[in-house]
Structure 1
Amino acid sequence: MSASPLPFHLINAFTTSSPHTGNQAAIVIFPSGNDPRSHDTEWMRLVARDFNYSETAYLVPLDVKDKDQSTVTVRFGLRWFTPEVEVPLCGHATLASAFTIFSLDPSANRIEFITKVSGTLVALRTPSGDVSISLPAIPSSPSEISSSYQETIINAIGLTSGEILEVTPYEFAGKSVIVQIDPNVDLASLTVDSRAIALVADGLSIITQANASTEISSRVFAPGLAVDEDSVIFLPTL
């Protein structure tokens, strides 16, 4: 007997009206936790590979609605996969999941996402109809870095040591790194050897810069997670 089809949604996060822009995520919704596929990590990984987006989110409804005065809360289990591995947290796929649920259930205005390692994440439908989400901070782990580590970063990004302001390793889906560069560098035009960075950071490699108006620009590479360069990311750079 073949398994029943599952609904899925392809969502563009961080955009308002332009199709095929922003950061794409696939959202797959199981009917309940009784569906064996909702516990099959390998099945979810293979389906995420078929979608081939930077992240695919899987949702499992957990219980009935909880109504408290004007707040209607629904709860879902949530997991995220790149085309290759499961990751502990993903901002844009969480936002896309919340948008999908609110679109399917107009009566709900609050969602609790129960995750494996990132705790309970809350999404709200604002009075204006927008979606806001709360995400945990990812602690950095400042530490001494070797000269060979620094040299690998410099060579992979193609900048001089004077153009790199700070290098901060941290743990997220493996060994990750945030590289803050001079705001005068043309970040968009950099030719980055992401495979070289992956030799010292097999998780996320974030190259970021801030200008005087506190705007932050970033590019994110994760070849170790089967994502050569992510379209948009905001979580680790906050």
Structure 2
Amino acid sequence: MEIPIFTVDAFTNVPFKGNPAAICLMDNELQDDLYQSIAAEMNLSETAFITRRNSKDFSSGAKFGLRWFSPKTEVALCGHATLASAAVLFYIKKNINPVVVFETMSGDLYVRQHEESLIMDFPLNKPKPQDQHEIKDLLKAAVGDLPIQDVCYSPSTKKLMIRLADTCDRSELISLRPEAKTLLRNETTGKIKSLIVTLKGPQTTQSGYDFYSRVFAPWVGVPEDPVTGSAHTVLAGYWSEKLEKKKMMAYQCSSRGGEVKMQIREDGRLDIIGQAQIILQGTFKI
């Protein structure tokens, strides 16, 4: 069997930045263990599998199945691999539709083109306050002695969000080096699958970023995720309320780095806006 496969850098307008995803175009469904084996072989934070739905090809169809796998497990929601999947359909397959729809574990996700960007229609996952005392060892493992302003949890995404105090700056966020083994040792309940550390953007500079973040997910085999769309469904819900803004620009401070634009819509859902660069295409033979 030969499967077309692409590597796409998402949330960036230049190669080798943003978050790379592997995208496979599937004529037929595979067994789950084979999907997982391919994702482990690619060893990126996510490998996505697109299947046709009632259409003869990837150029004319408007609806597709989409599943995401980390190197260790299937995930319920992935933003950067959704953006990358749409980039393959629009830029490589020249899909003729103004909007493509992906049927996923998180419901139908719509993606449309707008100038040089792609706009994803995602759920908004507003997190709830979390008792810090219950997870004090995990917090210590994540941010050390840095002061914490808020801790929130999103049950729908199993993401824990730690907001650093406003006295911290971006360099301190960038300097964090939490050890994957220590994080895993301090969270074994299965409640948390990803850890977001975030910081309010300075209001006195011209950076234009409303907030910064980093994301660590060793529970799914990703020590640090470079740029994370699903995390921004949580971050947008939190920061929109704190900043009293519906439109926001964020920067994820991984070594690769990436920009994420967001807009909370009147219907309560979230538009996540980003660019993508297709850097590799080939064939997976199994």
TM-score bracket for this pair, using the shorter chain length:
0.7 to 0.9
Q: Note the C-alpha offset of 1:129.
A: 4.2
Match of 1:28 among 24, 29, 36: 24
Aligned positions of 1:223-234 closer than 5 A: 223-234=218-229
Q: What letter corresponds to residue 194 of structure 2 in structure 1?
A: L
Q: Which residue of 2 aligns with 1:169?
A: 153
Show CA shifts across 1:105-138 (max 9, x none): 24222101011x2110000112x24211111122
8 Å CA contact 1:172–1:203 kept in 2: the answer is no
Is 1:54 matched with 2:45? yes
- Per-residue deviation at 1:195? 3.0
Question: Contact 2:183/2:218 (CA < 8 Å) preserved in 1?
Answer: no
2:117 equivalent to 1:130:
yes
Q: Distance in 2 between matches of 1:176 and 1:107?
A: 36
The AA in structure 2 aligned to 1:113 is F
Counterpart code for 2:199: Q
Q: Is the 8 A contact 2:25 2:50 kept in 1?
A: yes
Identity %: 29
For 2:214 and 2:41, the matched residues in 1 are separated by 24
- Unmatched runs of 5 consecutive residues or more in structure 1: 66-71
Match of 1:87 in 2: 75
Name the larger-Rg structure. Answer: 1
Structure 2's unaligned 5+ residue stretches are 204-208, 237-286
d(CA) in 1 for partners of 2:155 and 2:77? Answer: 12
Report the TM-score when normalising by structure 2.
0.70
Residue 142 (structure 1) shift = 3.1
Find out whether 1:207 has 2:190 as its counterpart.
no
Matching of residues 1-238 of structure 1 within 5 Å: 4-17=1-14, 19-31=15-27, 35=28, 38-64=29-55, 74-103=62-91, 104-115=93-104, 117-126=105-114, 128-145=115-132, 147-160=133-146, 163-171=147-155, 175-183=158-166, 184-185=168-169, 186-198=172-184, 199-200=186-187, 202-213=192-203, 215-236=210-231, 237-238=235-236
Counterpart-to-counterpart distance in 2, 1:112 and 1:155: 39
Deviations 1:175-199 (A, max 9, x none): 4310000242410012223333332
CA distance in 1, matches of 2:95, 2:109: 20
Distance 1:39 1:187 in 2: 41
